[in-house]
């Protein structure tokens, strides 16, 4: 995305950027600063998302938060909802756990469990220890939603690290008996925002388009007829039917407790990947 912005100035009027990349783009002067006063629908945006630090550079806002989601836990219906990620290592789930095969997410879980900042854990050994403690429980590492659905419906595990959006789809499309649970440590969150490239030739139209994208009416149509991630617009979420799964899972209070994935410097990303690789090798051995 950033490469496209760099190499094609003037071609794009609106770009979708993960919040973890927003500052990088703004730092390279690729984006236009925005004033939310120009966006009538911005009033409904969840404050925690709207004013998220990752969207700001030098005090200026460069992105309108649009959709968000979480990585937390999914548990089979009828079982006690775990209060903490510590359940992943609890003996009652022996050989009954699926982990997400993703370094950032799993290091995040390990950081939560060792009481560290998920985006910058100083003590990686403590993270590794927490993750390695899950070994007797870990049955499989999933890497695609499809794989997760098949294994869950075959009853191969009851507890898993899972995506909120995927939890909605698994219940809606396949009627899988699961609950999405955000433990006390909070979820690992992501946020996508809409920005206007500095080189855009149609700044006004771009702003109008962004305003439309965060319009609750548009969102309800999108979410109910096609299926959508959770909207950053609280009003939009409130207009969903009361029993809507999407609304049920993406509760507004989770926005407060979740930790957004931060931009990772290369060496930290590499360290995360190597650590996760090592933990996986420990699981396999």
Partner 1 sequence: MPPEASAAGLPATRRRMPSWLATAALLLPSYAWLTLAVLLPLAAMFAFSFLHATPLGNKPVVWTLEQYRAFYDQPYLLGVAWASLSIGLWTTGICAVVGFAAALALVRATAGRARETLLILVLLPFWTNGLVRVFSWTMVIREGGFLDVFVRWFWPSAPSLGFLYTTPAIVLGLVHGYLPYMVLTCYIALLSVDEAVIEAAQSLGARWWTVLFKILVPLAAPGLVTGAILIFVPVIGAFMEPRILGGRVGVTMGTVIEDQFTQAFNWPLGSALAFTMLAVVLAVFATFSGVLRRSATT
**Contact set with partner 1 (CB under 8 A):** 2-3, 6, 101-103, 135, 138-141, 143, 147, 150-151, 154-156, 266, 269-270, 273-274, 277-278, 280-285
Q: Rounded to an integer, what distance in angstroms lies between the CA atom of residue 218 and that of residue 205?
A: 17
Helix axes 124-132, 103-113, angle to 10 degrees: 100
Least gap, CB of 88 to partner 1 (angstroms): 13
Identity of the residue, 34 or 261, whose beta carbon is nearer to partner 1 in the bound complex: 261
CA-nearest of 281, 269, 106, 126 to 97 is 106
Least gap, CB of 95 to partner 1 (angstroms): 9
Any bridge partners for residue 141, and if so which? Answer: 99
CA distances (Å), origin 250, targets 69, 132, 168: 7, 30, 10
Least gap, CB of 96 to partner 1 (angstroms): 12
Report how far apart the first and last C-alpha atoms of the chain are (Å, whole number): 38
Give the DSSP per-residue string, 61-106: E--EEEEEEEEEEEEETTSPPPSSGGGGG-GGGTT-EEEE--HHHH
Identity of the residue, 201 or 277, whose beta carbon is nearer to partner 1 in the bound complex: 277
Identity of the residue, 129 or 248, whose beta carbon is nearer to partner 1 in the bound complex: 129
Identity of the residue, 37 or 285, whose beta carbon is nearer to partner 1 in the bound complex: 285
Least gap, CB of 161 to partner 1 (angstroms): 14
Identity of the residue, 103 or 214, whose beta carbon is nearer to partner 1 in the bound complex: 103
Give the tokens for residue 217: 């009416």
């Amino acid at each position: 995305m950033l490469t496209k912005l760099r190499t094609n100035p003037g071609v794009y009027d609106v770009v979708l950027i993960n919040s973890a990349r927003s500052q990088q783009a703004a730092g390279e002067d690729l984006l236009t600063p925005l004033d939310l006063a120009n966006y009538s629908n911005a009033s409904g945006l969840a404050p925690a998302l709207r004013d998220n630090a990752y969207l700001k550079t030098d005090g200026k806002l460069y992105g309108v938060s649009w959709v968000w989601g979480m990585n937390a836990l999914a548990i089979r219906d009828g079982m006690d909802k775990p209060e903490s990620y510590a359940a992943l290592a609890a003996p009652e789930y022996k050989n009954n756990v699926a982990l997400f095969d993703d370094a950032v997410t799993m290091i995040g879980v390990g950081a939560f469990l060792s009481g560290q900042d998920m985006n910058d854990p100083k003590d990686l050994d403590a993270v590794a220890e927490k993750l390695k403690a899950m070994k007797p429980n870990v049955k499989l590492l999933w890497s695609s939603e499809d794989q997760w659905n098949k294994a869950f419906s075959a009853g191969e595990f009851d507890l898993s690290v899972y995506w909120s959006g995927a939890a909605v789809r698994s219940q809606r499309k396949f009627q899988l008996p699961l609950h999405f649970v955000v433990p006390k440590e909070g979820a690992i969150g992501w946020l996508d925002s809409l920005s206007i490239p500095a080189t855009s030739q149609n700044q006004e139209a771009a702003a109008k388009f962004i305003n439309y994208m965060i319009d609750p009416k548009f969102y309800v149509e999108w979410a109910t007829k096609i299926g959508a991630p959770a909207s950053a617009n609280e009003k939009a979420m409130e207009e969903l039917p009361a029993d809507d799964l999407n609304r049920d899972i993406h509760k507004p209070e989770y926005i407060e407790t979740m930790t957004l994935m931060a931009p990772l410097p290369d060496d930290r990303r590499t360290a995360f990947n190597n650590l996760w690789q090592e933990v996986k090798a420990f699981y396999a051995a």
